[in-house]
Amino acid sequence: MRPASGAGARDDVLVVAALAVEAVHVPAHLPLLLTGPGKTAAATAVAAVLAARPPADRPLVVGVGTAGALREGVTGLHVPGAVVHHDISADALARLGAPTTTELALDALLGAAPGDVVLATGDVFVADEDVRERLARRAHLVDMEGFAVAWAARSLGARVVLAKHVSDAADEGAWSWPDAVAASARALGEWLAGVLPARTG
């Protein structure tokens, strides 16, 4: 984990990203946790950092990163209002008497109303038209960590906001992600600097 540094450093926020390439423009005054890709890595890393702080001192968790667009016309940066867990056998578990949570409402930032964009999270890298079409019935965006970050934060009593920048259309073009991530990282860094400025005074 990279601690906050410099003038105006903040300890009331924890920025979380899966990969360093997505977080190269996160401002130095914000602490940054890199989790690695996928739900297990994300949930484990976030839970470990939050559990090390007293319950009353747990920061706002702000998960940032790239996402695939599941619907036409969805571009740019989004702050979802909800996140769903798309690759768990929820119906089967319910039939077996073990219902599980598959959707979480997300917090708003700076008093703004939560957005109406829904993010779907799963360990599957979506680059298939059929999978994209199925997920688009329920969500606007898809990633591999958002639900896990939110679940870990909520489980430990922390507020959580997610911000995702569209890097691809969750189809065959998703394999060009390495070429698109730099622009997404820049947009996410600019957004963070605007909504979570350095402390003054």
Q: For the chain, which domains are there?
A: 13-195 (3.40.50.1580)
Q: What mean pLDDT value characterizes the chain? A: 92
Token pair of 200 as six digits? 């003054």
What's CA 192's distance to the chain center, in Å?
A: 13
pLDDT tens by residue, 24-80: 999 999 999 999 999 999 999 999 999 999 999 999 999 999 999 999 999 999 999
Owner of token pair 């600097």: 193
Percent of the chain with pLDDT over 90: 75
What's CA 8's distance to the chain center, in Å?
A: 24
Structure confidence at residue 91 as a pLDDT band (50, 70, 90): confident
Maximum Cα–Cα distance for the chain, whole Å? 57
- Which residues make Cβ contacts (< 8 Å) with residue 133, sequence separation at least 6? none
Per-residue three-class SS string for 35-79: CCCCHHHHHHHHHHHHHCCCHHHCCEEEEEEEEEECCCCCCCEEC
Structure confidence at residue 97 as a pLDDT band (50, 70, 90): confident
Structure confidence at residue 177 as a pLDDT band (50, 70, 90): confident
Phi, psi of 158, rounded to the nearest 5 degrees: -100, 145
Q: Is the pLDDT of residue 93 over 80?
A: no
Taking the C-alpha atoms of residue 191 and residue 168, their distance in angstroms, rounded to an integer, is 19
Structure confidence at residue 87 as a pLDDT band (50, 70, 90): confident
The three-state secondary structure class of 139 is: coil
Predicted confidence at residue 30, as pLDDT, reads 98
**Which helix H or strand E contains 146, and what residues bound it?**
helix 146-155
Cα separations in angstroms, 198 against 65, 72, 77, 125, 129: 21, 36, 21, 35, 42
Per-residue three-class SS string for 97-138: CCCCCCEEECCCCCCCCCCCCEEEECCCCCCCHHHHHHHHCC
pLDDT tens by residue, 102-143: 799 999 886 566 679 999 999 988 888 889 999 999 999 999
141-143 and 60-69 beta bridge pairing? antiparallel
Predicted confidence at residue 161, as pLDDT, reads 96
